[in-house]
């Protein structure tokens, strides 16, 4: 299999507590110095399914029947089901030159679970469907499913079904995530009100700069395949790109603070794009304050190295998978000073528009410049 790869750090230092994940950034590319290559055709479709799904365990009470029948059976009793689907396509959403297959499997699950978390719901199940070309041996799929299994265990979700088929052009992954919540717990994008505070979890922009570092090192490697980059200075931002986390903890944190957001969305396409989504659906305006943006010191250093404005990246870079939400101004005292959250702006009348307020107190209209898969 002809996939150029370069070595990346074996261990990723994890930012969030209780995430002692043994998904290391060992090079998990399909090209191997001493490859053991088992053709998928040797197992057949049903043998492949049995082989890849043998380690999945059922843990959710709402899963009545998982893999092994014509369809899964779920019972949420008096709760509402929340469902989301994402498609990941090789060459559009990921590059196997620097994306280890374990991490790809993990990330594919996480980006879907993030959508469930953005509804203030609890993720409970996923389905996994893949299409692969004949250049992928069984061992490559084992790596991919090891990451999927790890994510399912980490987030305590059941893998209840899916599909496998062949592809003429690389690897395609489709995951459907399912969650549950009481009807009064669910948070939509359209509930923000004037004077609501705009709040974000974690820090933003690092995933985009992690991608820039990986793309740069890929280009260097293509020119000189013997070069091995030193990426120790970029550990955090590379982690944010290759192994993001869904903020399943936020639901519990907000419940403990007795706060229910009025609107919420996850940051997958960039902060500015997500703010615009909230404003359009809620029919409000927004002032986002540049000096309130939560950014990591390593992110700032790398922006300076690349000669890129950190604010531009922070508001337009995607794949942070943090949660962006609004809360009533009356809840300010409950959330101020909390290390998990940063108040970055407030909502205004729709007629006032959507603006970034710079450090110089200048208002600049926000535009959606984030990820657009249709223009890749």
146 and 239 part of one domain: no
What's the farthest any 2 CA atoms get from each other in the chain?
A: 65
Confidence (pLDDT) at 228: 79
Residue 258 belongs to domain with CATH number: 3.90.650.10
Residues of the chain with pLDDT below 50 are 1-34, 371-374, 376
What confidence score (pLDDT) does residue 11 get? 33
What is the total count of domains within the chain?
A: 2
pLDDT at res. 25: 35
Instruction: Measure the CA–CA gap between 49 and 55, rounded to whole angstroms.
Output: 11
The domain boundary, picked from 181, 212, 233, lies at 181
Sheet holding 263-266, edge to edge: 263-266, 323-327, 197-201, 341-348, 285-289, 354-357, 363-365
Asked whether residue 129 is assigned to any structural domain, the reply reads yes
Residue 24 lies in a domain: no
150 and 244 co-located in one domain: no
Local structure of 220: helix, strand or coil: helix
Give, in order, the Cα–Cα distances in Å from 280 to each of 205, 272, 276, 357, 371: 23, 12, 6, 19, 18
Write out pLDDT tens, residues 64-90: 888 878 888 999 999 999 999 999 999
Summarize pLDDT for 303-319 with one digit per residue, the tens. Answer: 999 999 999 999 999 99
| Domain-embedded: residue 297 | yes
- The residue from 154, 181, 208 where one domain ends is 181
Q: Is residue 65 part of a domain?
A: yes
pLDDT of residue 104: 97
Q: Are residues 94 and 207 in the same domain?
A: no
- The pLDDT of residue 370 is 57
Query: Given this model, what pLDDT does residue 37 score?
Result: 75
Domain identity same for 106 and 56? yes
- Write the DSSP string, 132-163: E-TTS-HHHHHHHHHHHHHHHHHHT-EEEEEE
Report the alpha-carbon distance of residue 274 to residue 271 in Å, rounded: 5
How far lies 257's CA from each of 118, 311, 316, 353, in Å? 17, 30, 30, 31
Domain interval for residue 347: 197-371
Do residues 232 and 175 share a domain? no
Q: What is the pLDDT of residue 50?
A: 66
Q: Which of 134, 153, 181 is the last residue of a domain?
A: 181
For 130-171, write each residue's pLDDT tens digit: 999 888 888 999 999 999 999 999 999 999 999 888 898 889
Query: What is the structure's pLDDT at 30?
Result: 35
DSSP string, 242-310: HS----THHHHHHHHTT---SEEEE-SS-HHHHHHHHHHHHT-EEEEEGGG----HHHHHHHHHTT--H
Do both 347 and 204 map to the same domain?
Answer: yes
Residue 93 falls within a domain, yes or no? yes
Q: Which residue has the tokens 């939400």?
A: 325
Structure-token match 């790109």, residue found = 241
30 located within any domain: no
Distance CA 51, CA 157 (A): 20
User: What confidence score (pLDDT) does residue 70 get?
Assistant: 83
pLDDT of amino acid 56: 74
Residue 311 forms part of a structural domain: yes
Token pair for residue 30?
């399909």
- Indicate whether 147 and 261 sit together in one domain: no
Burial class (CB in 10 A: 0-12, 13-18, 19+), 107: buried
Pairing of strands 63-65, 363-365: unpaired
- The verdict on 170 and 203 lying in the same domain is no
Residue 49's pLDDT is: 62
Answer yes or no: do 96 and 226 share one domain.
no
Measuring CA to CA, how many Å separate 302 from each of 268, 270, 309?
21, 18, 10
Q: Can you give the CATH number for the domain in which 66 is found?
A: 3.30.1330.10
Provide the pLDDT for residue 45. 62
Q: Does residue 12 lie in a domain region?
A: no
The answer on 173 and 67 residing in a single domain is: yes
Q: Same domain for 211 and 242? A: yes
Residues 100 and 235 occupy one common structural domain: no
């Amino acid at each position: 299999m002809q996939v150029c790869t370069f070595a990346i750090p074996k261990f990723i230092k994890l930012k969030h507590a209780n995430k002692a994940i043994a998904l290391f950034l060992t090079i998990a590319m399909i090209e191997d110095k001493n490859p053991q290559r088992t053709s998928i055709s040797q197992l057949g479709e049903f043998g492949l399914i049995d082989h890849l799904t043998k380690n999945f365990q059922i843990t959710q009470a709402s899963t009545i029947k998982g893999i092994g029948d014509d369809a899964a059976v779920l019972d949420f009793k008096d709760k509402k089901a929340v469902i989301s689907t994402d498609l990941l396509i090789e060459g559009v959403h990921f590059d196997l030159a620097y994306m280890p297959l374990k991490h790809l499997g993990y990330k594919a699950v996480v980006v879907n679970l993030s959508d469930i978390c953005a509804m203030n719901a609890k993720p409970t199940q996923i389905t996994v469907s893949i299409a692969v070309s004949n250049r992928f041996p069984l061992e490559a799929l084992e790596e991919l499913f090891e990451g999927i299994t790890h994510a399912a265990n980490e987030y305590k979700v059941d893998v209840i079904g899916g599909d496998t088929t062949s592809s003429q052009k690389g690897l395609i992954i489709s995951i459907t995530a399912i969650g549950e919540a009481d009807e009064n717990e669910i948070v939509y994008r359209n509930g923000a009100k004037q004077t609501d505070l705009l709040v974000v979890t974690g820090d933003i922009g690092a995933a985009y700069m992690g991608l820039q570092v990986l793309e740069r090192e890929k280009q260097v490697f293509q020119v000189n395949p013997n070069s091995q980059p030193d990426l120790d200075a970029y550990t955090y931002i590379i982690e944010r790109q290759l192994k993001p986390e869904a903020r399943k903890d936020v639901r519990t944190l907000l419940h403990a603070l007795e706060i229910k957001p009025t609107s919420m969305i996850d940051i997958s396409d960039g902060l500015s794009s997500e703010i615009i989504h909230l404003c359009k659906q809620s029919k409000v305006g927004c002032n986002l304050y540049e000096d309130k943006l939560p950014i990591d010191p390593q992110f700032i250093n790398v922006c300076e190295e690349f000669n890129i404005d950190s604010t531009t990246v922070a508001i337009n870079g995607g794949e942070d998978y943090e949660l962006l939400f609004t809360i009533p101004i009356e809840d300010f005292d409950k959330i101020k000073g909390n290390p998990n959250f940063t108040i970055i702006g407030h909502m205004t009348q729709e007629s006032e528009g959507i603006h970034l307020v710079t450090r110089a107190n200048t208002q600049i209209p926000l535009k959606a410049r984030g990820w657009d898969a249709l223009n890749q």
